[in-house]
Amino acid sequence: MVMGIKSRFCSRCGKETDKLLNSLCGDCYLEEHKIKAPGKCFVFYCNHCDSVLLEGVWTKCSGKAEQHLIDKLKTMIKLPEGETIQKIELVPYKKGFRSKVTTKLLGKSHIYELATFLELRKRICRVCTQQKTDFWNSKVQVRVKNKSKDFSNKLFDSLGYLKKKIVKAEEQKKGVDLFFGDKKTGKDAAGRIKTKFGLRMSQSAEQYSWNKSKNRPKYRHVMLLREK
């Protein structure tokens, strides 16, 4: 055996190449290490208001709802070490989708047609259920200069038990709007976010209907939190 000379031949098929992984060429490596994908992947979706259920919170989509399926699938696919996902495309299939996944290994692209069944499962969100009643009385608007990708999740987590009290969240370009059923909860939530993220708060009232019995307008509480 000759020591010290790095082999440039695949130990499986004998092909000569500079690009070896565990002494295998890309093709042989993928023969021995296969991509793993789930049988199904779904996201709950309210088609009345175009919201999806993310981490237990109904969140209005800023883009296509299907993107959330792609994002979720991405977290469920297990790739062999060294292989990375480049692109996922959805292909309509029955009442849902299948996917075409492009990956890269040792500089070479591979395309997989996964059998995973992807689905936007229709559910009516809490807000649409209560549409005819006054579903929210307090809105917390959070705005930042640079919104990170996990901004909303960080925000939800900072709320602790109050997270469950969010009746709806709406993604905004520079932040997110949170809706609460009553003023006290909204105020508590705003207080926590203000402290946690060091924001400045201003408050206002928004007239939304007329109280006929009392002959005066009905107001909702709006709190705006901004970076100092």
Q: For binding to Zn ion (CB under 5 A), which residues are involved?
A: 10, 12-13, 15, 25, 28, 46, 48-49, 51, 125, 128
CA distances from 95 to 50, 92, 119, 120 (A): 17, 8, 7, 9
Residue with tokens 């709190």: 223
CA distances from 72 to 41, 109, 175 (A): 7, 22, 22
Nearer to Zn ion, 83 or 188 (CB): 83
Smallest gap from residue 10 Cβ to Zn ion (A): 3
Smallest gap from residue 178 Cβ to Zn ion (A): 16
Amino acid at 86: Q
Smallest gap from residue 194 Cβ to Zn ion (A): 28
- With a CB cutoff of 8 Å and minimum separation 6, the contacts of 9 are 15, 16, 17
Smallest gap from residue 128 Cβ to Zn ion (A): 3
Nearer to Zn ion, 51 or 185 (CB): 51
- Return the closest-CA partner of residue 224 out of 165, 166, 182, 174: 174
Nearer to Zn ion, 36 or 48 (CB): 48
Residues pairing with 41 in the sheet: 118
Q: Give the C-alpha separation, 83 to 119, whole Å.
A: 26
Q: Give the C-alpha separation, 19 to 105, whole Å.
A: 10
Smallest gap from residue 227 Cβ to Zn ion (A): 30
Nearer to Zn ion, 60 or 193 (CB): 60
Nearer to Zn ion, 88 or 167 (CB): 167
Smallest gap from residue 167 Cβ to Zn ion (A): 11
Nearer to Zn ion, 69 or 77 (CB): 69
